[in-house]
Structures are given as C-alpha cells and as structure tokens.
Amino acid sequence: MRGEQYLRKPAQYALVYNKGSSWANNLLVMKALPNGLALSRYGLSVGQRVGKAVVRNRVKRLLREILRLTPLQPGWDIIFIVRPSAAGVNYACLDKSVKDLLSRAGLLVERYEKVGPRTN
C-alpha cells in the first residue's frame, strides 16, 4: 500500500471522528467522511482492550490485507475501530464484517456489472 492511502495525522483522525457518519457491527465500528480527494484513505484504531501487542498487530495486519484487496469508492476518509470481540476471529469473519460495513455505507465498488440479456 502506498503511504498516501493512510490517515496519518491526529487532526485527520479527529475530523473523521467528530464529523463522520458511523456504522457498526459486533466486530468493528466504521466512521467515514468525504475528503474531496481522488482516492480513499483509511486508518485503524486498535485499543489495548483488544489484547496484547501480538493480537493487536495481527488484527491490524488482517485489516490492512482486507482493505488492500477490497475496491473502495474514491474520495473518502475511513476509520475502522476494532472491538475486543475481533481478537479471536479468523480472516474470513473479519473480511465479511468489513465488507458488510462498507456495503451498508455504499463505499464498495462493484467489480462486475450485472449481465443482462443480449440485444442484437
């Protein structure tokens, strides 16, 4: 991933926390705010309640890989806040949870258009 795809500064996080819309499920909370750029940026928030450093780093690695493979709508700042219940889940559960939140927010890019009947 390129560095421009991350939220880096505390002011960027604060803006999304304060003004962004929120969606949640049992593993994650997602906050999103339009940024007016040609690309989407994301940040991860994994607190100490999730577990020790090894567990937190594993969850962050999984989330980064899921977001790398997931096509997002351009022009959004997105923060994923990890809940403690995400510490023991596998890749597939976390992937389903992320895609559920992104689709509810309308931030997923559909890879394939629906195929309709051919007209000649």
**67-73 CB contacts, 8 Å cutoff, 24+ apart:** 67/1, 67/42, 67/98, 68/1, 70/98, 70/99, 70/102, 70/108, 71/108, 71/109, 71/111, 72/40, 72/42, 72/102, 72/107, 72/108, 72/109, 73/40, 73/106, 73/107, 73/108, 73/109
Q: What is the reported pLDDT for 89?
A: 94
Model confidence pLDDT, tens digit, residues 75-84: 999 999 999 9
Q: What is the reported pLDDT for 4?
A: 72
Model confidence pLDDT, tens digit, residues 11-57: 999 999 999 999 999 999 999 999 988 989 999 999 999 999 999 99
Residue 115, pLDDT above cutoff 60: no
Q: Which region holds residue 114: left if phi is over 0, alpha if psi is between -120 and 50, else beta?
A: beta
> How much is the average pLDDT of 101-111?
87
